[in-house]
Amino acid sequence: MAKSPTIFIIPTGIGCEIGGFAGDALPAAKLLASASGCLITHPNVMNGGSLSEKNKDIFYVEGYSLDRFAKGEIGLKSVKQQKIGIIFDSSIEHEILMRHLQVADACVATLGIDVDSYVLTKKPIGIAIDSESQGISGGLIENPDTLIEAGESLISKGITAIAIVAKFPDNLDLIETNLYREGKGVDPIAGVEAVISHLISKFLKVPCAHAPALSPIQLNEDLDPRAASEEIGYTFLPSVLIGLSKAPDLIELSDENKNITLHPSHIESIVVPSGALGGEAVLAGIERGLNIIAVKNENILNLDNHNFNYPKLIEVNNYFEAAGLILSIREGINPKSIQRPLKNIQEATFKNRRS
């Protein structure tokens, strides 16, 4: 059966009911990968703190690079294994740093991942959380140059993929954090995490993902199951290392490099939460005439899909329906044939030609 390459997006930091927590969209990704045979998605979907999976049918691509892929600027090349380096924020306390290094050693010893080396930034990265963004997670970093410099030093030593561990403030809003842990709010650090990984992707053009370094917080007995993966272990690094271990190489199409496993022209569909269609990948998909499958997945944006007068925009109620739709596309079955009411075919009309 031919594959139907599909991009799966759940935007970071907008509080999606599915995918707004650590790795809670991973089951949906596995379902869509099974239906399509080839799924391209980003760390926000796959990273579950200490929990994640390798899947031969899923390409793990950081969000900025995923947008570039959707726009037709890069291709993806499968690899047997990436050689991973880790950037640690120099402001991380010694004990927390040791915990992360032990996790990296464990991933080598237990999972066979190639985590080769690490570097400390020369200056603190300087995380600033934006708490005034109307419920959408956001923030910035004060010293982006020190992050890029650290990444360049790893690449010069032969590193092919980069994990970043930044120190986040200990004075995060506890009320906001607990609302998130109880399933009632937005991940307060997700927005600035995206800033960090986008920066590395843009300037260094290698697979990358971010794991925050946070001090332990008190037990919350009202924990939402979707947030539970963040409560186990000392770090969020394992899922990042698992994802990066076989993340595809990013190949510039302008280099006329033919050694590509997946070309952007192969993509047939993009799956995205309903009401969150304004991202670069989706807009590029619309421009290229792809199927846009909008899944009802409550989030803060909830923009009106009807503003997109696009004939190949299909709205579905859940990811089960999305998987069925992708499977019908993969098998060459007209989705309209399964929907009711079934309309009669229409007579085509011709414009009068000038003689």
pLDDT of residue 140: 74
pLDDT of residue 146: 95
pLDDT of residue 22: 81
Print the domain residue range for 175: 80-248
Residue 96 lies in a domain: yes
pLDDT of residue 188: 61
Residue 100 lies in a domain: yes
Residue 297 lies in a domain: no
Residue 4 lies in a domain: no
Residue 311 lies in a domain: no
Distances (CA, A) of 331 to 35, 124, 162, 296, 339: 10, 52, 38, 24, 16
Start-to-end CA distance of the chain, whole Å, equals 48
Q: Are the beta carbons of 45 and 8 closer than 8 angstroms?
A: yes
Residue 149 lies in a domain: yes
- What sign results for the dihedral spanned by CA atoms 259, 261, 266, 272? negative
pLDDT of residue 120: 97
pLDDT of residue 181: 58
- CATH number, domain of 93, equals 3.40.50
Residue 332 lies in a domain: no
- Per the structure, how many domains does the chain have? 1
Residue 25 lies in a domain: no
Longest dimension (CA), the chain: 84
pLDDT tens string, the chain, 355 residues long: the values are: 689 999 999 988 788 889 888 888 999 999 999 999 999 999 999 998 888 888 999 999 999 999 999 999 999 999 999 999 999 999 999 999 999 999 999 999 999 999 999 999 999 998 877 655 555 656 678 899 999 999 999 999 999 999 999 987 765 555 456 555 555 666 666 667 778 999 999 999 999 999 988 776 677 778 778 777 777 777 889 999 999 999 999 999 876 666 899 999 999 999 999 988 889 999 999 999 999 999 999 888 767 667 678 889 999 999 999 999 999 999 999 988 888 899 899 898 877 655 5
